[in-house]
Chains A and B, each alone.
Chain A
Amino acid sequence: MKGSIMPAEATAPVKKLRTRPFKLMKRNWDLYLLMVPVMLYFVIFEYAPMYGVQIAFKDFMARFGIGGSPWVGFKHFERFFDSYYFERLMLNTLGIGVYELLVGFPIPILLALMINEVRSSKFKRTVQTVTYAPHFLSTVVVVGMLFLFLSNTGIVNQLLRLFGIEPISFMTEPGWFKTLYVFSGVWQQMGWSSIVYLAALAAVDPQLHEAARVDGASRLRRIWHINLPGIMPTIVILLILNVGRILSVGFEKVFLMQNELNMQTSDVISTYVYRTGIMGAQYSYSAAIGLFNSVVVFVMLVLVNWIARKVNETSLW
């Protein structure tokens, strides 16, 4: 028996789509009704404020408002690109983003698949509850613990010494920064991120599993051919969404883990903006950087989405 489940919508009768648009709209009038408050929300709270995007191309001065402030074209962008540290910032930010994706994305999926297989519900609930707890710790506490465990006298270095290995100065070695950042993030978020996949797994029809078991399929084969395809749309969508977050390396955690000695690998866009005192009144400059970020990410996203659509028929839009 062929293993994968066909996506449900592929079996929907096609002829309906050929009906004239107006007829479709009329028949689904209540769906449009549902969308009215939704669109209202987006118009008021998302699109109306978008005129603020202009700030990136102007020298914003409160006295004149956004509309009245003078145009300066790409001045702020150039300022950003010309910075001595531009390359480093981009490399670090992208580097961390990609690293996080490569390591941090598959792990929650694996976790969910494993948890789903556990038969003892008590064990299952324990694992779920424990793994999702770190999500609630504040960044300050997590980084504090990081410093504690990784300091010269911390538990990790003590273990190393036991094995005759030289202690490593984790928090100041530039080479370690990204790894520490990513893995501590995985530790903190993997349980939380697995929740979505657990929900998707809950919707997989157990009868399929029964049938496969009767046919003699082993557990691993069942996971591979039933569970995984069953949640594939969810996986793909989340992958796309996460690519959309690739340049959003959070400020607080990096800031807390940063110091003069590891700057080469720990300096990211958000900390640079903060450090050069650009928050507060220099709206235009930070707006330009933000816009640049958004454009880069959007382009990446269009690409990834296009690939996803071709391969799996799943798309963000």
Chain B
Amino acid sequence: MVNQSRGDRAVEWVIVFLLSVVLVVVIYPLLYVVSASVSDPLAILKGEIWLLPKGFNLDAYVKVFNNQDIIKGYTNTFIYTIVGTVINLIMTTAAAYPLSRKDFYGRNVINLIIVFTMFFSGGMVPMYLLVKNLHMLNTMWAVVLPGAISVWNMVIMRTYFQSSIPFEIQESASIDGCSNLGILTRIILPLSAPIMAVMVLFYAVGHWNAFMSALIYLTDRDKFPLQVILREILIQNQVDEMASVVDDTLIQYMMDVEALKYAIVIVANIPVFILYPFLQKYFVKGVMIGALKG
């Protein structure tokens, strides 16, 4: 290890300090969410929770897991996420790689065609009709196919290929007789671990949290993803304004919803939240060096 100069050490301390501040500012509300999810709803309502839970109880979680549809919801979401993300990765790479090549004739036009769709779309009615006409209504494909390529993500991936992978490497491989597909599989992909990790994250989280397509295109309850089920739990006790329903159950409902909100956030997100630590190792500096030497 090269010894750091005094100036450098100072900078490092400043950075550590700033990051620690960030850490505290971010973590406090997160801890609040965790605490609230296991607290007595009345205490939450009264604003008595600050950091630690009060009136510890797991009722909210019990309520969530008692819902018979939850397991199905999780299963469905897992399937949609995995299938969806695989499709996303393949399609996005298939788009980003050619477009990153300066010698890909027509790339400007194609880029424009693709980017244009980020801003202009036909709207819900034609999409619904399309899905219907393709006989995808009430199937997994309605949730997984539209949006197979996110232009936003594609552009990011393309930029990564263009700026982080020197063209010379590709060139010399081509001279050595490697086809484009070969370059893709043997050079680009190994060097793209960081961006692939990012794409997995973005797409997987996108699928995991998605509910709009499911709401519109799915009708069978046993196909509903997690988010739809969870939203239902929250609105289940909604009171009809004009002719309300009886009793202490209204009170019970108010209490339930308070802690439910927080429990739901945690239940919904734990699986995908832990995805990141697994992907973090790809964000390590120097991932390219190893590949280059290979």
Closest beta carbon of chain B to A238's beta carbon, Å: 7
Of the listed stretches B22-30, B72-80, B214-222, name the one at the interface; the rest are far from the partner chain: B22-30
Q: How far is the CA of A314 from the CA of B162 in the complex (A)?
A: 10
Closest beta carbon of chain A to B21's beta carbon, Å: 11
- The answer on a CB contact under 8 Å between A207 and B23 is no
Name the A residues within 8 Å of B11 (CB-CB). 117, 218-220
A153 lies within 8 A of chain B by Cβ: yes
- The answer on a CB contact under 8 Å between A35 and B280 is no
Name the B residues within 8 Å of A46 (CB-CB). 117, 121
- The answer on a CB contact under 8 Å between A199 and B180 is no
Name the B residues within 8 Å of A52 (CB-CB). 121-123, 125-127
Chain B, range 2-37, C-beta contacts under 8 Å to A:
2, 4-5, 7-8, 11-12, 15-16, 18-19, 22-23, 25-27, 29-30, 32-33
Chain A, range 3-49, C-beta contacts under 8 Å to B:
7-9, 11-13, 16-17, 21, 24-25, 28, 30-32, 34-35, 37-39, 41-42, 44-49
> A191-209 toward B: CB 8 Å interface, digit per residue (1/0)?
1000110111111111100
Name the A residues within 8 Å of B101 (CB-CB). 28, 31
> B145-169 toward A: CB 8 Å interface, digit per residue (1/0)?
1111100100110011011111110
- The answer on a CB contact under 8 Å between A55 and B125 is yes
Closest beta carbon of chain A to B118's beta carbon, Å: 6
Q: Closest B-chain residue to A209, C-beta based?
A: B285
Chain A, range 128-155, C-beta contacts under 8 Å to B:
128-138, 140-141, 144-145, 148-149, 151, 153-155
B284 lies within 8 A of chain A by Cβ: yes
> With contacts A31-B180, A66-B125, A145-B29 known, is A202 near B105, CB below 8 A?
no
- The answer on a CB contact under 8 Å between A205 and B289 is yes
Name the B residues within 8 Å of A53 (CB-CB). 120-123
| Residue count of chain A within 8 Å CB distance of chain B | 102
Q: Closest A-chain residue to B184, C-beta based?
A: A34
Q: Which of A55, A60, A199, A241 contacts B152 (CB 8 A)?
A: A241
A104 lies within 8 A of chain B by Cβ: no
B82 lies within 8 A of chain A by Cβ: no
B56 lies within 8 A of chain A by Cβ: no
> With contacts A220-B11, A283-B123 known, is A130 near B18, CB below 8 A?
no
> B79-99 toward A: CB 8 Å interface, digit per residue (1/0)?
000000000000100110110
Name the A residues within 8 Å of B288 (CB-CB). 203, 205
Q: Closest B-chain residue to A48, C-beta based?
A: B130
Name the B residues within 8 Å of A283 (CB-CB). 123-125
> With contacts A49-B126, A125-B277, A138-B265 known, is A314 near B159, CB below 8 A?
yes
- The answer on a CB contact under 8 Å between A11 and B122 is no
Q: Which of B15, B47, B121, B179 contacts A50 (CB 8 A)?
A: B121
Name the B residues within 8 Å of A206 (CB-CB). 285-286, 289
- The answer on a CB contact under 8 Å between A38 and B105 is no
- The answer on a CB contact under 8 Å between A8 and B159 is no
Closest beta carbon of chain B to A311's beta carbon, Å: 15
Q: How far is the CA of A144 from the CA of B282 in the complex (A)?
A: 35
Name the A residues within 8 Å of B117 (CB-CB). 42, 46-47
A74 lies within 8 A of chain B by Cβ: no
Of the listed stretches B58-66, B107-115, B236-244, B247-255, name the one at the interface; the rest are far from the partner chain: B107-115
Name the B residues within 8 Å of A138 (CB-CB). 261, 264-265, 268
B67 lies within 8 A of chain A by Cβ: no
Of the listed stretches A81-89, A108-116, A164-172, A264-272, name the one at the interface; the rest are far from the partner chain: A108-116
- The answer on a CB contact under 8 Å between A7 and B123 is no
Q: Closest A-chain residue to B9, C-beta based?
A: A219
B262 lies within 8 A of chain A by Cβ: yes
> With contacts A45-B145, A136-B273, A148-B47 known, is A21 near B23, CB below 8 A?
no
> With contacts A8-B167, A202-B282 known, is A129 near B94, CB below 8 A?
no
> With contacts A55-B123, A136-B265, A316-B111 known, is A219 near B30, CB below 8 A?
no
Q: Closest A-chain residue to B101, C-beta based?
A: A31
**Looking at A51, A316, A317, which has the most chain B CB atoms within 10 Å of its CB?**
A317
B186 lies within 8 A of chain A by Cβ: no
B210 lies within 8 A of chain A by Cβ: no
- The answer on a CB contact under 8 Å between B201 and A195 is yes
Q: Closest A-chain residue to B269, C-beta based?
A: A136
Of the listed stretches A94-102, A173-181, A253-261, A290-298, name the one at the interface; the rest are far from the partner chain: A290-298
A287 lies within 8 A of chain B by Cβ: yes
Q: How far is the CA of A129 from the CA of B112 in the complex (A)?
A: 36
Q: Closest B-chain residue to A121, C-beta based?
A: B284
Q: How far is the CA of A118 from the CA of B5 in the complex (A)?
A: 16
Q: How far is the CA of A153 from the CA of B235 in the complex (A)?
A: 28
Name the A residues within 8 Å of B280 (CB-CB). 125, 128-129
Which A positions have Cβ atoms within 8 angstroms of B?
7-9, 11-13, 16-17, 21, 24-25, 28, 30-32, 34-35, 37-39, 41-42, 44-53, 55, 60, 66, 111, 114-119, 123, 125-138, 140-141, 144-145, 148-149, 151, 153-155, 187, 191, 195-196, 198-207, 213, 218-220, 233-234, 237-238, 241, 244, 283, 287, 290-291, 294, 297-298, 301, 314, 316-317
- Which 4 pairs of residues, A with B, have the shortest CB-CB distance? A52-B122, A52-B126, A49-B122, A317-B111
7 A-B Cβ contacts within 8 A? A12-B102, A42-B113, A119-B12, A134-B30, A136-B209, A140-B261, A145-B29
Given contacts A49-B122, A49-B127, 14 further A-B contacts (CB under 8 A): A12-B171, A28-B104, A41-B148, A42-B113, A42-B117, A44-B130, A45-B147, A55-B123, A133-B30, A141-B265, A187-B26, A206-B289, A234-B159, A290-B123
